[in-house]
A and B are shown apart, each in its own frame.
Chain A
């Protein structure tokens, strides 16, 4: 069996009295595509934020890619995010005043140094070679999400996190995005953790876990 990239032990996150994530033990082997399903408020986004180093757990242990996220400082978490993780959000968050290629370069800039040629080829890879100089406002939802994907993979992350990346897209765009992700994963060999409430999207993964009210209720392996 491949090495484990995510390993949690009794991982808990509570906001005041509300317990968003009850103690959770989870292991994700390297290279797996894991789908996380649940209703809204089931704790699936919380799990993703914790794994992506965007949030800190209230209790438990959390090892991602050999790093103990609880031990990292604020800036250490930032370094972890830029070097290890690529994140795609539901609302394709892009900096509104920067062009598509500049939005990708922003991730390069925070990671190390910007390289425009590389950013261009990344956008070409996601099929946006003709929209390089457009600002987010001039792009369709699907196109914006593809910019986000280009940005997420530009620093060759080991782990790609998706928080309902297709939640705002129509069926056709959803399929295109998922195909693209599958293609890229085949090339780059990153691990995927994708949060969704769409059964169809979840089916693209190797394994699906179901969360309800912060508890892992079910787990199933998909054979696609």
Chain B
């Protein structure tokens, strides 16, 4: 009987039903889209932070134009925190003239390790290099395996108009070296303006044998807390011991600095955490917008339900007069809103999913995969909007006095 009542009431008042359905659909769609995007952003960000392994930058200390020594590198695997250091990569940079197919462009040539087998006495052998430290690099083609092979940043490749398989001649201070391009790399960062070649080749090109201009180290670290931010110089002996044996990025950096002659280690977590803070703000804006949108649609539901309650008060009064108690009255009206909101939730989810994709394509220029939890979220937000929106109208309905309404 309940379903019969609901069915007939829907069929007889399509406009009112449609209005409520639309406001719930809108709310659910907006919630789905925003939550989907913000969820995806935090997901991506978490991935990035995890893969953004390099969190310590080693540079020559003070002196302009100084270099680090390549032979010191294996020592990094012997420091106190050696097991927390998951990888490191040396770089040697120089401005260079590139020419390919008659085109000449200026850019940066960068000598590095791609995946170098590193043997350290007393330690297990390990593979070090960009491949391990920057897993998010997208290489079209393959990684260099030979001394004369190189990969090229996407932006530089575009300027030079080369693709994988082409050749690029690199000229630094009159000396030239020809590289076979085996891959084009997309990183989304300044690396796209560089040409990456094996370290040895670049060292001989620059006539800087055994030299390195910076080292990026990636380490498993403990999140910074207030204790970690303290200046080690002001600590008591006990505190210093605890600080030293806690894997804060600063203490690991200090550790590495100690073994690399003439180096200064800078934790680069500042960058990551600044980025993180920005994204966090963005996320909370998204969340706020979602809550506002849901609130707005709850208000809309409430308003339209109020209107329809006013219109239906004779009906409610009649049901009361015939003997419906408060539970039965609520069952009819709440059931009605819940049914509409279920439908609204499903439609809103489908819409919101599309919306999220459009937004993320146009605003963030990335595609998103909508996570599974969005569906229940959409339904639940639709239901909660419906319930929030129907509290006041329902109370109003339950307060209706049949005598007043039915008076002839």
Residues of chain A at the chain B interface (Cβ within 8 Å): 45, 49, 52, 54-55, 74-75, 78-79, 81-83, 85, 87, 89-91, 93-98, 102, 105-111, 113-114, 151, 155, 163-164, 167
Can you add 15 more A-B contacts, CB < 8 Å, to A97-B11, A97-B12, A110-B319? A49-B403, A75-B325, A78-B326, A79-B325, A81-B321, A81-B322, A82-B322, A82-B323, A85-B323, A87-B321, A94-B318, A95-B318, A97-B8, A97-B9, A102-B8
Q: Is the CB of A107 within 8 A of B11?
A: no
Which chain B residues border A155 with CB–CB below 8 Å?
A: 323
- In the complex, B273 has a CB within 8 A of chain A: no
Q: Is the CB of A109 within 8 A of B1?
A: yes
Q: Is the CB of B408 within 8 A of A164?
A: yes
A110-B4 contact given A96-B315, A167-B408, CB 8 Å threshold: no
**Contact mask for chain B residues 303-323; partner A; CB cutoff 8 A; 1 contact, 0 none:** 000000000001100111111
Q: Is the CB of A106 within 8 A of B13?
A: no
**Contact mask for chain B residues 254-284; partner A; CB cutoff 8 A; 1 contact, 0 none:** 0000000000000000000000000000000
Which chain A residues border B11 with CB–CB below 8 Å?
A: 97
**Contact mask for chain B residues 326-359; partner A; CB cutoff 8 A; 1 contact, 0 none:** 1110000000000000000000000000000000
Q: Is the CB of B315 within 8 A of A110?
A: no
Which chain B residues border A93 with CB–CB below 8 Å?
A: 314, 318, 321, 406
Most buried by B among A89, A155, A167: A89
Which chain A residues border B326 with CB–CB below 8 Å?
A: 74-75, 78
The 9 tightest CB contacts between A and B, nearest first, are A82-B323, A97-B12, A78-B325, A81-B323, A109-B1, A75-B325, A114-B1, A90-B408, A110-B324
Which chain A residues border B322 with CB–CB below 8 Å?
A: 81-82, 87, 106-107, 110, 151
Tell me the complex Cα distance, A113–B328, Å: 12
What residue in chain B is nearest A157 (Cβ atoms)?
Answer: B323
Shortest distance in angstroms between B319's beta carbon and chain A's nearest beta carbon?
7
What residue in chain A is nearest B2 (Cβ atoms)?
Answer: A109
Which chain B residues border A85 with CB–CB below 8 Å?
A: 323
What are 27 A-B pairs at a CB distance below 8 A? A45-B407, A55-B401, A75-B326, A78-B323, A78-B324, A78-B325, A81-B320, A82-B322, A82-B324, A89-B408, A94-B318, A96-B315, A97-B11, A98-B4, A102-B5, A102-B8, A106-B319, A109-B328, A110-B319, A110-B322, A110-B323, A110-B325, A113-B1, A155-B323, A163-B408, A164-B408, A167-B408
Shortest distance in angstroms between B219's beta carbon and chain A's nearest beta carbon?
68
What residue in chain B is nearest A46 (Cβ atoms)?
Answer: B403
What residue in chain B is nearest A82 (Cβ atoms)?
Answer: B323
Shortest distance in angstroms between B396's beta carbon and chain A's nearest beta carbon?
15
The A-contacting residues of B in range 5-47, CB under 8 angstroms, are 5, 8-9, 11-13
Which chain B residues border A106 with CB–CB below 8 Å?
A: 1, 5, 319, 322
- In the complex, B402 has a CB within 8 A of chain A: yes
Tell me the complex Cα distance, A81–B402, Å: 12
Tell me the complex Cα distance, A74–B320, Å: 10
Q: Is the CB of A78 within 8 A of B320?
A: yes
Tell me the complex Cα distance, A91–B9, Å: 21
Tell me the complex Cα distance, A94–B323, Å: 14
Which chain B residues border A90 with CB–CB below 8 Å?
A: 408
Q: Is the CB of A111 within 8 A of B8?
A: no
